[in-house]
Amino acid sequence: MFNSLSDRLTATFKNLRGKGRLTEADVDATVREIRRALLDADVAVPVVREFTARVRERSLGAEVSGALNPSQQIVKIVNEELVEILGGETRRIRLAKTGPTIIMLAGLQGAGKTTLAGKLSKWLKAQGHSPMLVACDLQRPNAVTQLQVVGKRAGVPVFAPHPGATSTELDHPAGDPVAVARAGVEEAKRTLHDVVIVDTAGRLGVDAEMMEQARQIRRAIVPNEVLFVIDSMIGQDAVNTAMAFDEGVNFTGIVLSKLDGDARGGAALSVASVTGKPVMFASTGEGVDDFELFHPDRMASRILDMGDVLTLIEQAEKNWDKDEAARMAKKFADQEDFTLDDFLAQMQQIRNMGSMKKMLMMMPGAQNIRQQLENFDEREIDRVEAIVRSMTPHERVAPKIINGSRRARIAKGSGVHVSEVNGLLERFAQAQKMMKKMAQGGMPGIPGMPGLGGPGGARKGSKNAPKKKARSGNPAKAAQELKDAEARRAGAAKALPTGAAFGQQSGDFDPSQLNLPKGFDKFLGK
């Protein structure tokens, strides 16, 4: 969504690198480029003015002039100001102290309220709640049916006493949405559901009839949260729409839908700042699981191409099979061979985490390979899995027996060329060697790792390996020497910055250095 804005800001900050001191002209030029980038991304003009004024004021202050690295300090300032206009801090749902928590969804037609109701219900269900959906959109044709379908996919019950409008009764839809909303809350109390999500009707534009209906529903059910669902691709009109709904129903939080779109999306940055209401959730895809809590600090990091590793870790913790991880850990400890069955299991673990594109775009510096990621075909993972599954159990354990005729059979069984089978086997052989080195306590070519070539990590028996110093025969002196050596090692480990052991600066990410399975070559452009 924010690719264009991210590219512009990243290019702006590159011009500041290497400057030991920033003049007022440098700061003005940087602020001017930031202003252009925000305006091009459809951020509201009042928000841009306020944002750039704060950045300029802070950049000309003591916190930059006294910094050892002024350019990094300006990036820090921009990051903090972005977090501020995005809401400042993560805002979670306020749960009711007694009775069910009532959540009302409001927004224009086409913003994605009905789909989002299902996503929110599944997310709440995963949090240990028992949600129920209430179909109060009796205006749009087949809206009730759509909510029932979405609810079924999410595994959540839907209260829909009225079928809603059909294509034959658009002008005279039957049913009272206010009565349905009130009855839905009573049904939730009777069936002991602790969260009620009320899906209301929208219009193609803001009008008095829609607002009055929304106000009546709000008065009837007294919701704990009123979430305004807004299309992230709506453009500059997002601010006017948000202000109209804030005045009409006084919403308590914002949900950004279609955040995976390719529009400039800067208007989404404006809504929280203009209305003073926090962005609480974001919809990031069409699937019922493509939904996440909105963290302003993490979104700011994504915009500035600093990655979102915390979200990546959370996804891994949520989807990673702990039993499989324990099995692999034991296999490493016992120094057993890494087989194609293990490789297949790891591929399935990665698949469970979701889209590879989305995961890799959360890595720091991912904007540098965005074009390759966009060209990457997710079906390559399916082809790799098909190749491995076309092998016999014995071939997966002992891939060295796979000769020319076996490779032809595997290629035919998986529907690929023999060259793709050859490529996978070559990469697997490299991965197997790497796993074996890791099991022995190190990896080749990585500085600072024991038993390895490279600075601080020479192999045993090599000419460059440091000679072991003889220990003193005096027991007290030998104990002191051992204590001093341990202190030096601890000090060196503490002083080593993150990523330095891998020959990289902290925050850099070069996926071409990874030993990825066959199919990842294509998006790396190799």
Contact call for residues 55 and 22 (beta carbons, < 8 A): no
Alpha-helical regions (H) of 339-474 = 340-352, 356-361, 370-375, 379-389, 393-397, 404-414, 418-439
Cβ(280)–Cβ(253) below 8 Å: yes
Pairing of strands 131-135, 158-159: parallel
**Residue reference for tokens 């002991």:** 192
Task: Output 220 or 475, whichever has higher pLDDT.
Answer: 220
Torsion angle of alpha carbons 426, 431, 432, 436, nearest 10°? 150
Rounded distance between C-alpha atoms, residue 214 and residue 226, angstroms = 10
Lowest-confidence range among 2-11, 122-131, 270-279?
2-11
Rounded to two decimals, what is the model's pTM?
A: 0.64
How many whole angstroms separate alpha carbon 211 and alpha carbon 215? 6
Q: Amino acid identity, residue 236?
A: Q
Name which residue leads in pLDDT, 476 or 210.
210
8 A C-beta contact, residue 183 and residue 159: yes
Q: Which residue reads 């850990």 in tokens?
A: 329
Closest to 366 measured CA to CA, from 260, 507, 489: 507
Q: How far apart are CA 362 and CA 313, in angstroms?
A: 10
Structure tokens at 430: 């490299």
Contact residues for 410 (Cβ-Cβ < 8 A; gap 6+)? 387, 390, 391, 395, 402, 421
DSSP secondary structure, 165-221, as one string: --TT-SSS--S-HHHHHHHHHHHHHHTT-SEEEEE----SS--HHHHHHHHHHHHHH
pLDDT tens, residue by residue, 405-428: 999 999 999 888 999 999 888 888
> Interhelix angle for 237-249 vs 208-221, to 10°?
40
Q: Which residue has the higher pLDDT, 316 or 237?
A: 237
pLDDT band at 499 (very low <50, low <70, confident <90, very high): very low
Q: Which two tokens stand for residue 28?
A: 């003005």
pLDDT at 77: 86
Using the Cα atoms of residue 155, residue 187, residue 104 and residue 200 in order, give the sign of their dihedral: positive
Q: Beta strand 291-293 with 279-283: parallel, antiparallel or unpaired?
A: antiparallel
* SS3 category, 470: coil
Rounded Cα–Cα distance for residues 156 and 463 (Å): 67
Q: What is the mean pLDDT of residues 372-388?
A: 76
Q: What is the pLDDT of residues 185-212, one digit of tens each?
A: 999 999 999 999 999 988 777 778 888 8
Q: Name 199's bridge partners.
A: 105, 135
Specify the range with the lowest mean pLDDT, choosing from 86-100, 258-272, 379-393. 258-272
Tell me the C-alpha distance between 197 and 102, whole Å: 6
Q: pLDDT value at position 374? A: 64
Residues 524, 369 contacting (CB under 8 angstroms):
yes
pLDDT digits (tens, 9 = 90+) for 293-304: 888 888 887 777
Cβ–Cβ < 8 Å for 193, 132: yes
Question: What is d(CA 522, CA 495) in angstroms, rounded to the nearest whole number?
Answer: 38
CA distances from 42 to 5, 7, 228, 232 (A): 10, 15, 20, 11
Cα–Cα nearest to 101, from 179, 194, 169, 182: 194
279 vs 523 pLDDT, higher one: 279
Distance CA 5, CA 39 (A): 9
Torsion sign (Cα): 131, 175, 114, 300: negative
Higher-scoring residue by pLDDT: 97, 331: 97
Residue 93 tokens read as 């749902």
Top mean pLDDT of 114-128, 370-384, 445-459 is at 114-128
- 162 vs 500, more confident: 162
